[in-house]
Amino acid sequence: MSLYYSKITGWGHYAPERILTNDDLAQMVDTSDEWIRTRTGIRERHIAAEGQATVDQAYHASVQALERAGISAADLDLIILATSTPDYLCPPASSMLEDRLGASKAGAMTLIAGCTGFVYGLATAAQFVQTGMYEHVLVVGAETLSYAVDWEDRNTCILFGDGAGAVIVSRSHTPGGLQSMILGSEGSGWDALIAPGIGSHAPMTVETLERKEHKLRMNGRQVFKFATRVMTEAVTEVLSDAELTIHDVDVLIPHQANARIIDLAVRRLGIDKDKVIINLDRYGNTSAASVPLALAEALDSGRVQPGDTVVMVAFGAGLTYAATVWQWQPETADEEPILVTNWPVPETMRVQAQRVRTAAWRLQVQARTKASDAAMSLMLPLYTFRKGVKKRLKK
Ligand code: UT7
């Protein structure tokens, strides 16, 4: 049981200066701005400068988050750095960040859960502060994917970008903060997004390097199918756990992988698109940095307001997924402590009514998902047939 509440008191984000547009990519591989925009929603992405690595980016975002929270690095109890592109396999990038920040009393861990890493980190940080163990935890998502992609593989290089986002999760006496969370993994899909030639299973050799096995490879369609399914399921589940429905949500922050994945989830969940934060057109998929980058931008632009219900959802390599529900607290200093057990103090009738609403909404989502799955399975043979005819006509 929680003794305290968790509160996001600071946030920051960073993206390298250099921008790579779709037109730039069309000069490098057989693709076009039109294909990338219509299939993914991405227009451009940021690319790290020569010698700029993940900890450099994480550092900039973390400094902003510390400033916003009004604390110094020496106040941090723990640093969780989510990344799939650490500066080195050993040592952990989190310790390098701890050193750069001067967070001398903080523990530090690097969390690898693909694009889901930041949401996993956020849920982990909240556990530490809600039990009273720690007061301030820095959670960062940072990636330098530009070094991990094969710039000759059009299936992957058009998707990814570099960047970082960070938050401070602090202990609070004021009700709010994390309401519910879901952490999931479908490990049977471990090879759908993989750098096959790095690690203890396949140590690097000249041959593996020549075959570019240290670069990312992806079964795009498999990840796409997984993503559209789990995004809907995870949001439904995490809201149900908080006894809320999509109508209670003010802001949805999804992992920024593909606008089509987000669109499908938006339709299935029945959420107003204006409530969904999308910035992938400017950053591409920044993996573990994508959710904190979008969150920090949403906070900076005032799209998240005190009292708002905010849902964050992510999916990625592993295959992993996670979702959290937050109630955004007013930025007032903690005064009178309110015991967790005394809040909320709902009347039985209201709770019952809320449960009925949640159950009814879940049924609606299931029905919409079934309908769109059926429509897709009807359209797919038609699409494949049309593609076949087009190909034959071309010949
Ligand atoms: O953070 C988690 C990580 N990853 C993801 O979330 C990615 C999930 N998957 C996706 O977003 C999509 O599957 C992609 C954007 C990667 C691909 O879109 P798609 O609609 O699934 O395309 P496809 O793989 O079915 O390929 C369709 C066609 C193929 O040509 P043929 O076989 O029909 O002749 C591809 O070779 O498009 C071709 N293609 C391209 N054409 C131009 C693939 N990549 C490109 C490209 N430019 N960059």
| 340 close to 3: Cβ distance less than 8 angstroms | yes
pLDDT at 331: 60
- Among 218, 258, 380, 386, residue to substitute to test ligand 1 (most atoms within 8 Å of Cβ): 258
Residues annotated as catalytic (active site), given as ranges:
115, 255, 285
Return the CATH number of 5-343, one of 3.40.47.10, 1.10.760.10, 3.40.50.800, 3.40.640.10.
3.40.47.10
**Neighbouring C-beta atoms of residue 302, cutoff 10 Å:** 7
Candidates 109, 101, 99, 133; CA nearest to 10 is: 101
**Closest Cα to atom 48 of ligand 1:** 154
Closest CA to 166 of 128, 133, 136, 129: 136
Using alpha carbons, list the distances in angstroms from residue 72 to 91, 103, 136, 138: 24, 8, 10, 11
Give, for all 395 residues of the chain, the pLDDT tens digit.
678 999 999 999 999 999 999 999 999 999 999 999 999 999 999 999 999 999 999 999 999 999 999 999 999 999 999 999 999 999 999 999 999 999 999 999 999 999 999 999 999 999 999 999 999 999 999 999 999 999 999 999 999 999 999 999 999 998 899 999 999 999 999 999 999 999 889 889 999 999 999 999 999 999 999 999 999 999 999 999 999 999 999 999 999 999 999 999 999 999 999 999 999 999 999 999 999 999 999 999 999 999 999 999 999 999 999 999 999 976 654 555 555 555 555 556 777 888 888 888 888 888 888 888 888 777 777 777 777 777 777 76
Separation of alpha carbons 208 and 212, rounded Å: 6
Atom of ligand 1 nearest to the CA of 290: 1
pLDDT at 345: 53
CA of residue 7 to ligand 1 center, whole Å? 39
Walk across the sheet containing 163-172 and list its strands: 5-14, 163-172, 136-143, 78-82, 107-111
What does pTM read for this prediction? Answer: 0.89
Residues with CB under 6 A from ligand 1: 31, 35, 39-40, 115, 154-155, 158, 193, 218, 220-221, 223-224, 227, 257-258, 285, 316
Q: How far apart are the CA of 32 and the centre of ligand 1, in A?
A: 12
For the chain, what are the domain ranges? 5-343
What was the pLDDT predicted at 291? Answer: 98
Q: Which of 84, 224, 379, 385 to mutate to test the pocket of ligand 1 (most atoms within 8 A of CB)?
A: 224
- Residue with CA closest to ligand 1 atom 41: 31
